[in-house]
């Protein structure tokens, strides 16, 4: 009996409408995001103005491409639109995935968990029959499929469940739960919000209530969405939670992306109604397409995709916990912090300055960071060890090229975390120019010294 319950039926077919709606909204959201990114002037500010770019380990060959960067965004935005309408879907989603990934890999200064979310969802979409139903492709081939394999839709649900649960589990730490950090710093600074700014936002109990309910939300919402009888209420929670965080924090399009993503948990009846609504009032079209009952993957293709997804989800389950392999305090060293759904857990800032020394003679001078970095890059560099090391190497190369001899690069760094006083961050005696960039633990990060330790996952 139990085995039967646990056994997943990969042969089961389901209505294609939820995936079609997901494709449509995801594409539109991506298109809007690209437009917004451009309109805010961020292409220039984040990718063209900086003289130096921080790269992900192994991807230093991916850089902004001058004014062609705009072309890259045009391609990315256009392909998102093609994904939305489901025209030449396979080519469109491949183009979108690659161009978006390229944009993200250009400079890690702009890393956000929600960009990572978009990358992996579009990776899944590469393999899903999202154009089977209600797409321009269906119109062109004059045939649409009513039913698709159930596991295709479930794979997106699984991804969302993993994200929510991981984000909830990592909130189980003493800073979040028992010090209400960093919300205790962030919320009072929203004093200029109408109605709640000067009172609610300033209350100690409210900071704790927000921390605990945020944690509970992440841990419980996937189950409430999966269970039919609680689904509608859960969706109200989803809307309230994400709209509220949007009001409080500068998180751009992310809340809206999560809200429309959560629609995938609903039954096809709702999606069919949305489709009918769009047909009637937006497209004003009465054409009905020949309905082919079932879409199936060719046998080999199905096998390949399923094995690929198995590996993919195994990685998704494990990757957030790679931080356990590193010694020291994760929030301090940030070794294994990215790509792990640790969202809004830290208010961290630093001040990091570099000395260029002649290690033979002992003479040295200091670097003015603004000569090489934009203020945003300097801010991000100042508290993230991998940024510090990469920048130290850049400085070492730069001054060696300028003709300085026996160059050594030393950092004086102070970092403050979640309302603790700033303390020294980097061992000042270590020549960072001699330290190799790798995934190994960075010995030159001074241990987390605060008496207020962080315990938890």
Contact footprint for other proteins (CB under 8 A): 40, 42, 45-46, 110, 112-114, 185-186, 188-192, 194-195, 197-199, 201-202, 232, 236, 239, 243, 247, 249-254, 269-270, 273-274, 277, 343-344, 347, 349-351, 353, 363, 365-368, 374-376, 379, 414-416, 419, 421-422
**C-beta of 375: minimal distance to other proteins in Å?**
4
| Cα 243 to Cα 254: distance, rounded to the nearest angstrom | 10
CA distance 396 to 433: 6
Residue with smaller CB distance to other proteins, 8 or 244:
244
Q: Judged by CB, which is closer to other proteins: 156, or 343?
A: 343
Compute the least distance from the CB of residue 457 to other proteins, in Å: 18
Cβ atoms of 409 and 369 closer than 8 Å:
no
- Smallest distance from the beta carbon of 276 to other proteins, in angstroms? 9
- Tokens for 327? 């010694």
Angle at the Cα of 18 (from 214 to 233), degrees rounded to 5?
A: 35
Where does residue 66 fall: left (phi above 0), alpha (psi -120 to 50 degrees), or beta otherwise? left
Q: How far is the CB of 343 from other proteins (least distance, A)?
A: 5
Q: Give whichever of 95 and 166 is closer to other proteins, judged by the CB atom.
A: 166
CA distance 193 to 412: 38
Which residues fall within 8 angstroms of residue 269, CB to CB, at 6 or more apart?
none
- What does the alpha-carbon distance between residue 179 and residue 183 come to, in Å, rounded to a whole number? 9
Q: Which is nearer to other proteins, 36 or 453 (CB)?
A: 36
**Integer Rg of the chain from CA:** 25
- Of 419 and 456, which has the nearer Cβ to other proteins? 419
Q: Which is nearer to other proteins, 287 or 451 (by Cβ)?
A: 451
169 membership: H or E segment, kind and range: helix 150-169
**Quick one: 63 or 246, whose CB is closer to other proteins?**
246
How far apart are CB 342 and other proteins at their closest, in Å? 9
Of 192 and 299, CB closest to other proteins: 192
Give the bridge partners for 445, in sequence order.
426
Number of alpha carbons in the 13 Å side-chain half-sphere of residue 232: 2
Least distance between other proteins and beta carbon 199 (Å): 5
Of 274 and 389, which CB lies nearer to other proteins in the complex structure? 274
Q: Which two tokens stand for residue 85?
A: 């309408």
- CB contact at 8 A, 165 and 157: no
Give SS3 for 60: coil
Q: How far is the CB of 428 from other proteins (least distance, A)?
A: 12
Nearer to other proteins, 116 or 296 (CB): 116
**Sign of the four-CA dihedral 387, 389, 395, 400:** negative
Nearest to 185, CA basis, from 194, 176, 193: 176
State the minimum distance, in angstroms, from the CB of residue 144 to other proteins: 21
Beta bridge partners of 352: 413
* Least distance between other proteins and beta carbon 407 (Å): 12
- According to DSSP, the β-strands at 348-358 and 364-366 are antiparallel
Round to whole Å and give the CA distance between 56 and 63: 11
Percentage helix, strand, coil for the chain under 3-state DSSP, each rounded to 5: 55, 10, 35
Nearest distance from C-beta of residue 189 to other proteins, angstroms:
4
């Amino acid at each position: 009996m139990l085995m039967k319950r646990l056994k997943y039926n990969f042969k089961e077919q389901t209505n294609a409408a939820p995936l079609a709606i997901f494709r449509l909204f995801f594409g539109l959201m991506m298109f809007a995001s690209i437009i917004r990114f451009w309109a805010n002037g961020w292409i220039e500010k984040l990718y063209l103005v900086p003289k130096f770019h921080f790269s992900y380990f192994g991807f230093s060959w991916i850089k902004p491409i001058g004014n062609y960067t705009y072309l890259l965004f045009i391609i990315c935005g256009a392909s998102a639109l093609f994904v939305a309408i489901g025209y030449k879907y396979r080519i469109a989603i491949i183009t979108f995935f690659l161009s978006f990934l390229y944009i993200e890999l250009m400079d890690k200064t702009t890393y956000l968990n929600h960009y990572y979310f978009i990358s992996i969802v579009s990776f899944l979409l590469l393999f899903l029959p999202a154009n089977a139903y209600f797409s321009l492709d269906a119109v062109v081939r004059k045939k649409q499929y009513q039913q698709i394999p159930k596991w295709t839709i479930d794979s997106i649900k699984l991804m969302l469940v993993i994200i929510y649960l991981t984000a909830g589990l990592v909130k189980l730490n003493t800073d979040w739960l028992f010090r209400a950090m960093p919300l205790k710093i962030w919320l009072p600074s929203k004093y200029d919000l109408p109605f709640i700014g000067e009172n609610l936002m300033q209350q100690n109990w409210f900071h704790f209530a927000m921390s605990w309910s945020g944690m509970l939300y992440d841990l419980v919402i996937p189950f409430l969405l999966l269970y039919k009888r609680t689904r509608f209420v859960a969706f109200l929670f989803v809307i309230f939670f994400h709209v509220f965080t949007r009001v409080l924090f500068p998180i751009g399009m992310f809340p809206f992306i999560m809200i429309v993503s959560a629609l995938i948990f609903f039954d096809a009846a709702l999606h069919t109604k949305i489709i009918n609504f769009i047909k009637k009032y937006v497209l004003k079209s009465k054409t009905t397409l020949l309905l082919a009952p079932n879409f199936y993957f060719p046998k080999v293709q199905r096998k390949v995709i399923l094995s690929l997804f198995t590996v993919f989800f195994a990685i998704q389950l494990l990757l957030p916990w790679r931080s356990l392999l590193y010694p020291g305090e994760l929030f301090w060293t940030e070794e294994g912090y990215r790509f792990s759904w640790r969202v809004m857990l830290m208010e961290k800032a630093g001040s990091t300055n570099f000395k260029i020394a002649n290690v033979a003679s002992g003479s040295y001078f200091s670097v003015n960071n603004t000569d090489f970095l934009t203020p945003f890059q300097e801010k991000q560099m100042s508290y993230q060890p991998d940024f510090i090391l990469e920048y130290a190497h850049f400085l070492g190369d730069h001054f060696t090229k300028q003709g300085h001899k026996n160059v050594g690069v030393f950092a004086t760094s102070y970092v403050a975390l979640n309302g603790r006083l700033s303390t020294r961050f980097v061992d000042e005696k270590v020549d960072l120019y001699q330290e190799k960039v790798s995934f190994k633990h960075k010995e030159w990060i001074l241990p987390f010294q605060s008496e207020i330790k962080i315990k938890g996952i």
